[in-house]
Structures are given as structure tokens and as C-alpha cells.
Amino acid sequence: MIFVEVHLDTPVLQEALTSNADAVVTVEEKRALPSGVVRFLFWACSENFETFEEALETDPTITSPSVLHEVDDKRLYRVELTETGKATTVHQAYVELDAVMLEGKGTDEGWFLQMQFPDRETFKEFRTRCGEVGVDVKLYTIYNQIDSSTEEAAYNLTECQQDALLAAHESGYFEIPRKVSLADLAAQLGVSSQAASERLRRGTERLVGHSLVERANK
């Protein structure tokens, strides 16, 4: 099993997204019905939903847009793909290849997807099929699935380093600005600030050495 992060240059929803550059859509569901209709549900965030919805009405890749739900600053839409949209959608390709889209986000710069494939050959076939319908696929990241029982060993982390990194991530230590100080994080771990700092530094060094340096040398 492999995981990939890719950028897709597809026209689906692009007219609506480029007309409202702040808009971001996140795929909720895409389904091909027996009738041949491809139904597409997505969440959208925008500072101007009126402009976005006007653009949905004229986007040549979709039809019948409707709002299903609204929560805070985002709305859930349902649309159907037109023949133009279906001609460039890659939905059927990854379904037939037994792949899974874990996350899909669309902006005025295109679509950014996180996907799971059975193997590298299947992903290669997916790229071929995308090319056949004029959709360019840019690969950002590809990595193999790591079994949770061996993850610590695979990254060569000690248990203390893993605990420190996870605690730092969950408490917001890596955010800008930081939500907790090093002293607060150390107190949470029950160690001194120096010990916490060393665990973070050495753990980060091992993660970078495993995930980035080894990948760059392949």
C-alpha cells in the first residue's frame, strides 16, 4: 500500500474557483449513479458566497448546484457533473484501480489530493489514465504504508522522543505563535526543560534523517 500527495490540473469547478480566489472547497463525496449521473458533494469556505454561487451557476463543468447545509463560515453543496465535467473527472479511474481519495481540496490553483493506492504500478496507471483525459498530475510525495506496530522502529525514535514530539504537536508547541512554552511542555512530560529540548531536537533530527534525507538519496 502506498500513499501519495498530488496536484491535479483539471477544469472541474475551476471557473467558479478562479472567479473567487479566496474560495476553498473540500470533497465530501463523489458518486457515479447507475443512471450515469456523477453527483459531487463538497464543502466550501469563502468570504463572498454570493459571488461564488453565481459562478457555480455558469461553471461549464457542473450543473444543478444546491446548498444542503451551512455551518459557521462554510457551506455544503451538491452538484452534478456536466458532460464537460465528466470528460475530465478522474473519479472513475481511481475507483476502477481500487484507490481511495483520502482528502481532496480545490482552489484557484487546482486540486490537491491525498490518495491511497495498492502499489506504485497502480499509481502509474492512474497517471496514465489522467493523461488520456488531459489532466496533468504533479507528484509531491509518495511513501509506503508503515505498520503502526513498527512505526517507532522504522523512524528509529526512542519512546521518550516519540512521546515528546507527539506532546509538542498536540499541545501546539510547533504552531506560530506557540501555544505552550518549552517549560510548559517539559512540565507536561515530567522532565526538565533541557531534557525536553534534547528529546525534541534528537527526535526531529532522526525524523528528518529518515523521511527526508533518505528520500532525497533514493
CA 32 to chain CA mean position, Å: 22
Q: What is the pTM of this model?
A: 0.65
**pLDDT, tens digit (0-9, with 9 covering 90-100), for 36-65:** 899 999 999 998 999 999 999 999 999 999
Three-class DSSP category at 59: coil
Domains and CATH numbers, the chain: 2-144 (no CATH), 151-216 (1.10.10)
Radius of gyration of the chain (CA): 21
- Phi, psi of 53, deg, nearest 5: -70, -30
Phi, psi of 61 (to 5 degrees): -95, -10
Reported confidence tier of residue 211, pLDDT bands at 50, 70, 90: low
Q: Is the peptide bond before 177 cis (omega within 30 degrees of 0)?
A: yes
Per the CB < 8 A criterion, the answer to whether 62 and 82 are in contact is: yes
